[in-house]
Amino acid sequence: MNVSTGSGSNRLVIASFVLVFAVAAVTFGYTWQGQMAFIQRDDVTATATAYEVTSVENGTVTVRVRVDNPTSKPVTILGGSLFGKLDGEDVVREGTGAVPSERVPAGGSRTVTVECHFVDRDPSGATVERIRDGELRVVGLLSVRMVDQRFDVEVSP
Amino acid sequence: MTTFKRSLVEGWLRILLVGAATGILGGMGTFSYTRIDLSPFDAAWLPLVFVGLAGAYTHLLAADMRSGTIAMIVAFVVGAFTNIAAWTSPIFLLSYRGVARDLALMAQLQQSLISLLMVYLLIYLGGYFAAVTISGAFS
Protein backbone atom coordinates (compact mmCIF):
# COMPACT_ATOMS: atom_id res chain seq x y z
CA MET A 1 0.00 0.00 0.00
CA ASN A 2 2.64 2.50 -1.04
CA VAL A 3 1.45 5.97 -1.84
CA SER A 4 0.75 6.58 -5.49
CA THR A 5 1.78 9.96 -6.88
CA GLY A 6 -0.92 12.62 -6.96
CA SER A 7 -3.61 10.64 -5.15
CA GLY A 8 -5.67 12.01 -2.27
CA SER A 9 -4.20 9.51 0.19
CA ASN A 10 -0.73 10.61 -0.99
CA ARG A 11 -1.41 14.20 0.06
CA LEU A 12 -2.83 13.01 3.39
CA VAL A 13 0.25 10.88 4.15
CA ILE A 14 2.61 13.70 3.14
CA ALA A 15 0.66 16.26 5.23
CA SER A 16 0.69 13.98 8.29
CA PHE A 17 4.43 13.37 7.80
CA VAL A 18 5.13 17.11 7.67
CA LEU A 19 3.13 17.57 10.89
CA VAL A 20 4.98 14.75 12.69
CA PHE A 21 8.30 16.09 11.40
CA ALA A 22 7.52 19.59 12.71
CA VAL A 23 6.59 18.35 16.20
CA ALA A 24 9.70 16.11 16.27
CA ALA A 25 11.89 19.05 15.21
CA VAL A 26 10.56 21.20 18.08
CA THR A 27 11.17 18.39 20.60
CA PHE A 28 14.62 17.82 19.14
CA GLY A 29 15.46 21.55 19.28
CA TYR A 30 14.69 21.84 22.98
CA THR A 31 16.53 18.60 23.76
CA TRP A 32 19.60 19.60 21.77
CA GLN A 33 19.67 22.96 23.54
CA GLY A 34 19.64 21.06 26.84
CA GLN A 35 22.48 18.83 25.63
CA MET A 36 24.49 21.89 24.64
CA ALA A 37 24.02 23.43 28.10
CA PHE A 38 24.69 20.15 29.94
CA ILE A 39 28.01 19.66 28.17
CA GLN A 40 28.96 23.10 29.51
CA ARG A 41 28.08 22.14 33.10
CA ASP A 42 31.75 22.32 34.16
CA ASP A 43 31.53 26.08 33.52
CA VAL A 44 29.06 26.45 36.42
CA THR A 45 31.15 27.66 39.36
CA ALA A 46 30.58 28.28 43.05
CA THR A 47 32.80 30.61 45.07
CA ALA A 48 32.76 31.30 48.80
CA THR A 49 32.90 35.08 48.62
CA ALA A 50 32.59 36.05 52.28
CA TYR A 51 31.95 34.72 55.77
CA GLU A 52 31.22 36.15 59.17
CA VAL A 53 31.18 34.85 62.74
CA THR A 54 27.58 35.74 63.60
CA SER A 55 27.44 34.30 67.13
CA VAL A 56 30.23 32.78 69.21
CA GLU A 57 27.69 31.73 71.89
CA ASN A 58 25.59 29.80 69.37
CA GLY A 59 28.66 28.76 67.40
CA THR A 60 27.37 30.08 64.08
CA VAL A 61 29.26 31.34 61.07
CA THR A 62 27.41 32.54 57.95
CA VAL A 63 29.07 31.91 54.60
CA ARG A 64 28.07 33.60 51.35
CA VAL A 65 28.48 31.48 48.22
CA ARG A 66 28.11 32.94 44.73
CA VAL A 67 27.04 30.58 41.94
CA ASP A 68 27.79 31.66 38.36
CA ASN A 69 25.91 29.92 35.57
CA PRO A 70 27.20 30.88 32.10
CA THR A 71 25.22 28.08 30.36
CA SER A 72 22.02 28.57 28.34
CA LYS A 73 19.84 26.69 30.89
CA PRO A 74 18.97 27.70 34.45
CA VAL A 75 20.24 25.53 37.30
CA THR A 76 18.66 24.96 40.70
CA ILE A 77 20.72 24.57 43.86
CA LEU A 78 19.39 21.50 45.69
CA GLY A 79 21.74 21.33 48.68
CA GLY A 80 25.33 20.71 49.48
CA SER A 81 28.04 20.46 52.06
CA LEU A 82 30.48 23.19 53.12
CA PHE A 83 33.57 22.94 55.28
CA GLY A 84 35.56 25.77 56.80
CA LYS A 85 39.19 24.75 57.25
CA LEU A 86 42.07 26.11 59.30
CA ASP A 87 45.43 24.50 58.51
CA GLY A 88 43.57 21.72 56.68
CA GLU A 89 41.41 20.85 59.67
CA ASP A 90 37.59 21.18 59.62
CA VAL A 91 36.59 23.79 62.18
CA VAL A 92 33.26 24.84 60.64
CA ARG A 93 30.64 22.96 58.64
CA GLU A 94 27.15 23.65 57.29
CA GLY A 95 24.06 22.90 59.34
CA THR A 96 21.50 20.32 58.24
CA GLY A 97 19.56 21.67 55.27
CA ALA A 98 21.39 24.96 55.60
CA VAL A 99 22.07 25.37 51.87
CA PRO A 100 18.96 27.10 50.54
CA SER A 101 17.33 26.08 47.28
CA GLU A 102 17.89 28.81 44.72
CA ARG A 103 17.35 29.05 40.98
CA VAL A 104 20.31 30.49 39.10
CA PRO A 105 19.15 31.84 35.71
CA ALA A 106 20.88 31.03 32.43
CA GLY A 107 23.83 33.35 32.01
CA GLY A 108 23.34 34.77 35.51
CA SER A 109 24.56 34.40 39.06
CA ARG A 110 23.03 34.21 42.53
CA THR A 111 24.51 34.44 46.01
CA VAL A 112 23.18 32.21 48.79
CA THR A 113 23.83 32.59 52.50
CA VAL A 114 24.59 29.37 54.36
CA GLU A 115 24.49 29.14 58.13
CA CYS A 116 27.35 27.01 59.39
CA HIS A 117 28.38 25.80 62.86
CA PHE A 118 31.66 25.27 64.65
CA VAL A 119 32.61 21.60 64.65
CA ASP A 120 33.88 22.01 68.22
CA ARG A 121 30.95 23.28 70.32
CA ASP A 122 33.33 25.32 72.43
CA PRO A 123 35.96 26.70 70.03
CA SER A 124 39.07 28.26 71.46
CA GLY A 125 39.45 32.03 71.40
CA ALA A 126 42.45 31.66 69.14
CA THR A 127 40.37 29.75 66.59
CA VAL A 128 37.63 32.38 66.59
CA GLU A 129 40.24 35.10 66.29
CA ARG A 130 41.92 33.43 63.31
CA ILE A 131 38.54 33.05 61.62
CA ARG A 132 37.76 36.72 62.23
CA ASP A 133 41.16 37.56 60.75
CA GLY A 134 40.07 35.92 57.49
CA GLU A 135 42.14 32.73 57.68
CA LEU A 136 39.16 30.38 57.19
CA ARG A 137 39.24 28.48 53.89
CA VAL A 138 35.72 27.47 52.82
CA VAL A 139 35.42 24.52 50.41
CA GLY A 140 32.75 21.95 49.60
CA LEU A 141 30.25 20.76 47.03
CA LEU A 142 26.88 22.06 45.88
CA SER A 143 24.37 19.67 44.39
CA VAL A 144 22.57 21.34 41.46
CA ARG A 145 20.02 20.33 38.85
CA MET A 146 19.82 21.35 35.20
CA VAL A 147 16.39 20.41 33.76
CA ASP A 148 16.23 16.85 35.16
CA GLN A 149 19.97 16.12 35.34
CA ARG A 150 21.83 16.44 38.64
CA PHE A 151 25.50 17.19 39.08
CA ASP A 152 27.87 18.59 41.70
CA VAL A 153 29.69 21.91 41.62
CA GLU A 154 32.85 22.34 43.65
CA VAL A 155 32.91 25.34 46.00
CA SER A 156 36.22 27.13 45.77
CA PRO A 157 37.47 29.55 48.43
CA MET B 1 16.35 13.69 -21.80
CA THR B 2 14.12 10.77 -22.73
CA THR B 3 10.97 9.98 -20.75
CA PHE B 4 12.60 6.79 -19.46
CA LYS B 5 15.68 8.63 -18.17
CA ARG B 6 13.54 11.36 -16.60
CA SER B 7 11.39 8.86 -14.73
CA LEU B 8 14.54 7.04 -13.59
CA VAL B 9 16.03 10.26 -12.19
CA GLU B 10 12.72 11.20 -10.55
CA GLY B 11 12.48 7.74 -9.02
CA TRP B 12 15.93 7.98 -7.46
CA LEU B 13 15.31 11.55 -6.32
CA ARG B 14 12.16 10.39 -4.56
CA ILE B 15 14.04 7.52 -2.90
CA LEU B 16 16.76 9.88 -1.66
CA LEU B 17 14.23 12.49 -0.51
CA VAL B 18 12.10 9.93 1.35
CA GLY B 19 15.19 8.28 2.84
CA ALA B 20 16.70 11.59 3.95
CA ALA B 21 13.47 13.03 5.42
CA THR B 22 12.44 9.90 7.33
CA GLY B 23 16.07 9.29 8.40
CA ILE B 24 16.31 12.78 9.88
CA LEU B 25 12.98 12.20 11.67
CA GLY B 26 14.25 8.89 13.10
CA GLY B 27 17.59 10.38 14.12
CA MET B 28 15.94 13.35 15.84
CA GLY B 29 13.53 11.02 17.65
CA THR B 30 16.35 8.72 18.80
CA PHE B 31 18.37 11.62 20.20
CA SER B 32 15.32 13.23 21.86
CA TYR B 33 14.35 9.93 23.51
CA THR B 34 17.84 9.25 24.86
CA ARG B 35 18.24 12.80 26.24
CA ILE B 36 14.62 13.44 27.23
CA ASP B 37 15.82 14.36 30.72
CA LEU B 38 17.43 17.45 29.19
CA SER B 39 14.22 18.63 27.53
CA PRO B 40 11.27 20.37 29.20
CA PHE B 41 8.91 17.58 28.03
CA ASP B 42 7.77 14.76 30.31
CA ALA B 43 6.35 12.45 27.63
CA ALA B 44 9.35 10.17 27.15
CA TRP B 45 7.31 7.91 24.86
CA LEU B 46 6.69 10.67 22.29
CA PRO B 47 10.18 10.59 20.66
CA LEU B 48 9.89 6.80 20.46
CA VAL B 49 6.67 7.25 18.45
CA PHE B 50 8.60 9.56 16.09
CA VAL B 51 11.22 6.85 15.51
CA GLY B 52 8.58 4.19 14.84
CA LEU B 53 6.66 6.53 12.55
CA ALA B 54 9.88 7.31 10.66
CA GLY B 55 10.14 3.62 9.80
CA ALA B 56 6.48 3.46 8.77
CA TYR B 57 6.67 6.61 6.64
CA THR B 58 9.72 5.25 4.80
CA HIS B 59 7.50 2.52 3.43
CA LEU B 60 4.36 4.63 3.00
CA LEU B 61 6.08 7.49 1.15
CA ALA B 62 8.06 5.23 -1.20
CA ALA B 63 6.67 4.53 -4.69
CA ASP B 64 6.82 0.75 -4.33
CA MET B 65 8.28 -2.06 -2.24
CA ARG B 66 11.66 -2.07 -4.02
CA SER B 67 12.26 1.66 -3.77
CA GLY B 68 10.96 1.52 -0.20
CA THR B 69 13.69 -0.96 0.69
CA ILE B 70 16.39 1.26 -0.81
CA ALA B 71 14.88 4.31 0.93
CA MET B 72 14.99 2.36 4.20
CA ILE B 73 18.75 1.80 3.80
CA VAL B 74 19.24 5.50 2.95
CA ALA B 75 17.08 6.50 5.94
CA PHE B 76 19.00 4.25 8.26
CA VAL B 77 22.33 5.82 7.29
CA VAL B 78 20.94 9.38 7.41
CA GLY B 79 19.24 8.71 10.78
CA ALA B 80 22.44 7.30 12.26
CA PHE B 81 24.37 10.34 11.03
CA THR B 82 21.71 12.73 12.41
CA ASN B 83 21.83 11.07 15.82
CA ILE B 84 25.64 11.05 15.99
CA ALA B 85 25.75 14.69 14.81
CA ALA B 86 23.23 15.72 17.49
CA TRP B 87 25.38 14.13 20.21
CA THR B 88 28.74 15.38 19.03
CA SER B 89 28.01 18.79 17.44
CA PRO B 90 28.14 20.72 20.78
CA ILE B 91 31.76 19.57 21.18
CA PHE B 92 32.67 21.25 17.90
CA LEU B 93 30.52 24.32 18.52
CA LEU B 94 31.97 24.91 22.00
CA SER B 95 35.60 25.86 22.41
CA TYR B 96 36.94 22.38 23.25
CA ARG B 97 40.56 21.86 22.26
CA GLY B 98 43.13 19.05 22.30
CA VAL B 99 42.77 16.20 24.77
CA ALA B 100 39.61 17.66 26.37
CA ARG B 101 37.88 17.64 22.98
CA ASP B 102 39.01 14.08 22.22
CA LEU B 103 37.78 12.79 25.60
CA ALA B 104 34.44 14.59 25.33
CA LEU B 105 34.03 13.40 21.75
CA MET B 106 34.69 9.77 22.68
CA ALA B 107 32.13 9.95 25.51
CA GLN B 108 29.46 11.43 23.23
CA LEU B 109 30.24 8.98 20.41
CA GLN B 110 29.90 6.06 22.80
CA GLN B 111 26.50 7.30 24.00
CA SER B 112 25.31 7.94 20.46
CA LEU B 113 26.27 4.45 19.29
CA ILE B 114 24.50 2.87 22.26
CA SER B 115 21.33 4.83 21.44
CA LEU B 116 21.63 3.76 17.81
CA LEU B 117 21.71 0.09 18.75
CA MET B 118 19.22 0.18 21.62
CA VAL B 119 16.66 2.60 20.19
CA TYR B 120 17.06 3.39 16.51
CA LEU B 121 17.81 -0.10 15.23
CA LEU B 122 14.90 -1.72 17.06
CA ILE B 123 12.20 0.94 16.88
CA TYR B 124 12.91 2.25 13.38
CA LEU B 125 13.06 -1.21 11.82
CA GLY B 126 10.06 -2.25 13.93
CA GLY B 127 8.04 0.66 12.48
CA TYR B 128 9.20 -0.11 8.95
CA PHE B 129 8.41 -3.81 9.06
CA ALA B 130 5.09 -3.20 10.84
CA ALA B 131 4.06 -0.86 7.99
CA VAL B 132 5.21 -3.39 5.36
CA THR B 133 3.31 -6.22 7.07
CA ILE B 134 0.09 -4.28 7.67
CA SER B 135 0.03 -2.71 4.20
CA GLY B 136 0.77 -6.15 2.67
CA ALA B 137 -2.09 -7.71 4.59
CA PHE B 138 -4.59 -5.06 3.39
CA SER B 139 -3.37 -4.66 -0.19
Supply the pLDDT for residue A25. Answer: 97
For residue A104, list its beta bridge partners.
A75
pLDDT of B90-105, one tens digit each? 998 887 788 888 988 9
Sign of torsion over alpha carbons B77, B28, B72, B7: negative
pTM listed for this prediction = 0.79
Supply the pLDDT for residue B16. Answer: 95
Helix B65-93, helix A8-39: angle, nearest 10: 20
- B5–chain A nearest CA distance, Å: 18
Interface of B with A (CB under 8 A): 21-22, 24-25, 28-29, 31-32, 35-41, 46-47, 50, 53, 57, 59-65, 68, 86-87, 89-91, 93-94, 104, 108, 135-136, 138-139
Per-residue pLDDT of chain A (157 residues; tens, 9 = 90+): 565 544 567 889 999 999 999 999 999 999 999 999 888 888 999 999 988 888 877 788 899 999 999 998 899 999 888 888 888 888 888 776 678 899 999 999 999 999 888 888 777 778 888 888 888 889 999 999 998 889 999 998 8
pLDDT of B48-101, one tens digit each? 999 999 999 999 999 889 999 999 999 999 999 999 999 999 998 887 788 888
Coil, strand or helix at A18: helix
Supply the pLDDT for residue A6. Answer: 46
| Cα gap B88→B57, rounded to integer Å | 27
A2:B65 CB<8 A: yes
Supply the pLDDT for residue A5. Answer: 46
Percent of residues, chain B, with pLDDT higher than 70: 99
* Closest partner CB to B90 (pick from A17, A30, A35): A35
| Cα gap A69→A47, rounded to integer Å | 12
- As for the ipTM of the complex, it is 0.90
A13:B60 CB<8 A: yes
Q: Per 3-state DSSP, what percentage of chain B is helix, strand, and coil (rounded to 5)? A: 90, 0, 10
Distances in Å between the alpha carbon of A68 and those of A81, A114, B70, B87? 18, 16, 51, 25
Interface contacts A/B by beta carbons within 8 Å: 99
Backbone angles phi, psi at B105, to 5 degrees: -65, -45
